[in-house]
Structure 1
């Protein structure tokens, strides 16, 4: 892969690092950063042999995986590459990946790609620890989408019945994350355009963190900043897909949308995510697209159902989007909903449940699973919300 002129990206807005706490050792960002960050993280972890975990498209249609393999080979740290990780991380791929992880004697996973490889790596490490009873081994995540799965302690995967299942432990947070926008340049333009939908997943994270319980105010203000950048740079990336600085800004905005935060257990951020979890694996809808479908309408519903405090946080997003207030909290939230839908439409990402062949008769069950109980007073409104997604 050709190397870019790194001096163009020396601004601290585009290049640097950040360390948090155990088990995350560091987040490294910047065009070309994989070349220095991956060896540094291997040293920090004392890792000797890596299994590269990715999907077939990235493996077969780009040289991103080969770039990572070559860095590992230079360090004599390459074990093998497993690329049978499909969308929504089916359990069969996880089982096969765990077998290869053990067969090559790997002590670290380097995941490359979107949310599915990152979550599959967490699941493999979880099941490996359950088998051995020893310490959790580690993951270094190199995301090429904006889904932000690398910032959480939980992993979603598709079980044998076709439903979403989860594993969770604070030890599953990746030990290192590398945000290298240069790696995304080799992605075919058609695929990068599709991956703009994962930017709506990041918008979904940022918005739902505004009303997620136990999220402290500083994190919510970071989410406001994420929204400002996502609304600015997603259209810019569509207009000029080869602008690496814009791609780097989007990767950083994705990080801000789901800032590393210790929680007691892994769960959906809010209703839009809960609906996405129920729609995604069962009906083969990418998570970015589920956010395009559900988020604007969930925000509109919050104008009716949210607490006063949550309404204030949601309405506050307009200031960061440089949109004037209507003078009413409820109308400001409806305006935010409209801005989200406009972003989806402008990016050419509008879709319907009919396009994904979701049976209408399944709607009541999807709604009930998402809200968690038949007794939830909002259930009829959630059913109506899903019905509206057929148009």
Structure 2
């Protein structure tokens, strides 16, 4: 009998105004001083300031570290560790998308497990001894679900690659899912992070490690995201509220069962071309869904039903699989996702190397259909 594991936050708050609970959680846990981990744009546009003001108005001590950049690197993490130690912080408040929250996870792990100060040794599942410095996570995008996962991704610039770290000790203790924090997303970011959330839900649903509880989560996430994303991109707050919930539900699932080839192939695109992670996943999702479709049993039927494809329950399986792929492809088109990898800067001469990187990525073995390096290269070429 297979033993399945579920790891989730201790506490999560949902809804407009949820960030007001940040101060209450810090007080009741007797935290003394926060390092606020965010990026300069979120400070400049006064998004992160909303949370900082909660700390300030409650009389709680904090310092701000806003040195986070997209696709954070080993050096960014190490700078954050120094900032945390210099501040004397005993907890982290991570505000942003995947980059600030992922960086906060790495900072928190290294502060409590200094033997991993080189960062790169955290790759994969290394079994750290101590839980990370406590993290209160406030997402500002509706896609990465970093606030509820045990994963984080760091860029190794020297070797032009991204690596995934999987560690139950890094999960934020509290998450605050507040759609007010997500209203500032521009359309492009809303679209790419939303499609990333759909990728999480679909890959988590069909990955080799999927089981009944995660299937329940992923199929609900597919339903919510596929119906809300277009309106969310248009700026509708109710839709953004739904997307905030849908992406979190997807995170509850995939964090515990893994992903697949979409993420395996997306990571090298970010490492080589600095492609935003959500854009890379969104562009690749229909292609890899098509590649996987004959290895997924009836699951594409469930996807099709929950996306809202008419008569999906009765259609022949080959047809319903194709309809599911096309529906996801159309959703990406409708929200402005690039159709060709050349639009992301991908070059033909790089494909052999990025295909190797994708084959070796920690996410790729979870794919329901095994793929060789040559097959991965052919998939990249088909989208050039």
TM-score band, normalised by shorter chain = 0.7 to 0.9
Task: Give the Å deviation of 1:192.
Answer: 4.2
Match of 1:42 in 2: 26
Moved more, 39-48 or 172-181: 39-48
Structure 1 unaligned regions, length at least 5: 1-19
- Tell me the distance in 2 between the aligned counterparts of 1:164 and 1:148: 18
- Tell me the distance in 2 between the aligned counterparts of 1:31 and 1:215: 32
Aligned partners of 1:209 and 1:215 also within 8 Å: yes
Aligned partners of 2:203 and 2:259 also within 8 Å: yes
Q: How has the CA–CA distance of structure 1 residues 385 and 30 changed in structure 2, closer, same or farther, with 3 Å as cutoff?
A: same
Q: How has the CA–CA distance of structure 1 residues 227 and 22 changed in structure 2, closer, same or farther, with 3 Å as cutoff?
A: closer
Match of 1:315 in 2: 301
Match of 2:173 in 1: 175
- Tell me the distance in 1 between the aligned counterparts of 2:181 and 2:371: 47
Aligned partners of 2:200 and 2:254 also within 8 Å: no
Residues 9-52 of structure 1 show CA distances to partners (whole Å, capped at 9, x for unaligned) of xxxxxxxxxxx9877221101111111x2123213432111111
Match of 1:355 in 2: 343
- Tell me the distance in 2 between the aligned counterparts of 1:238 and 1:291: 17
- SS for the counterpart of 2:67 is coil
Task: Give the Å deviation of 1:351.
Answer: 4.0
Structure 2 unaligned regions, length at least 5: 116-128, 362-369
Residues 34-89 of structure 1 show CA distances to partners (whole Å, capped at 9, x for unaligned) of 11x212321343211111111122121x2121111111122332321111111111
TM-score, normalised via structure 2 length: 0.86
Match of 1:13 in 2: none
Q: How has the CA–CA distance of structure 1 residues 21 and 345 changed in structure 2, closer, same or farther, with 3 Å as cutoff?
A: closer
- Tell me the distance in 2 between the aligned counterparts of 1:365 and 1:381: 13
Residues 213-254 of structure 1 show CA distances to partners (whole Å, capped at 9, x for unaligned) of 232213212211211111111111233x1x322211110010
- Tell me the distance in 2 between the aligned counterparts of 1:372 and 1:330: 31
Q: How has the CA–CA distance of structure 1 residues 23 and 298 changed in structure 2, closer, same or farther, with 3 Å as cutoff?
A: closer
Match of 1:8 in 2: none
Q: How has the CA–CA distance of structure 1 residues 274 and 256 changed in structure 2, closer, same or farther, with 3 Å as cutoff?
A: same
Task: Give the Å deviation of 1:300.
Answer: 0.3
The reply to whether residue 163 of structure 1 matches residue 161 of structure 2 is yes
- SS for the counterpart of 2:343 is coil
- Tell me the distance in 1 between the aligned counterparts of 2:226 and 2:7: 32
Match of 1:15 in 2: none
The reply to whether residue 214 of structure 1 matches residue 209 of structure 2 is yes
Residues 154-199 of structure 1 show CA distances to partners (whole Å, capped at 9, x for unaligned) of 21111241321233321101101101111223x2x6x244222100
The reply to whether residue 281 of structure 1 matches residue 264 of structure 2 is no
- Tell me the distance in 2 between the aligned counterparts of 1:171 and 1:89: 20
Match of 1:137 in 2: 133
For 2:75, which of 92, 101, 104 is the aligned residue? 92
Moved more, 125-134 or 90-99: 125-134
Aligned partners of 2:94 and 2:136 also within 8 Å: yes
Q: What CA RMSD, in Å, does the superposition of the two structures yield over aligned residues?
A: 2.3
Match of 1:6 in 2: none
The reply to whether residue 382 of structure 1 matches residue 376 of structure 2 is yes
Match of 2:56 in 1: 73
Match of 1:119 in 2: 102
Q: How has the CA–CA distance of structure 1 residues 96 and 386 changed in structure 2, closer, same or farther, with 3 Å as cutoff?
A: same
Match of 1:330 in 2: 318
Task: Give the Å deviation of 1:356.
Answer: 2.3
Aligned partners of 1:268 and 1:274 also within 8 Å: no
The reply to whether residue 258 of structure 1 matches residue 244 of structure 2 is no
The reply to whether residue 56 of structure 1 matches residue 40 of structure 2 is yes
- Tell me the distance in 1 between the aligned counterparts of 2:113 and 2:35: 19
Task: Give the Å deviation of 1:119.
Answer: 0.4
Moved more, 295-304 or 322-331: 322-331
- Tell me the distance in 1 between the aligned counterparts of 2:285 and 2:30: 42
- Tell me the distance in 2 between the aligned counterparts of 1:231 and 1:160: 35
Aligned partners of 1:31 and 1:244 also within 8 Å: no
Q: How has the CA–CA distance of structure 1 residues 167 and 348 changed in structure 2, closer, same or farther, with 3 Å as cutoff?
A: closer
Match of 2:285 in 1: 295
Task: Give the Å deviation of 1:130.
Answer: 1.9
Aligned partners of 1:303 and 1:331 also within 8 Å: no
Aligned partners of 1:31 and 1:182 also within 8 Å: yes
How many residues of Structure 1 are paired with residues of Structure 2 in the alignment?
Answer: 355
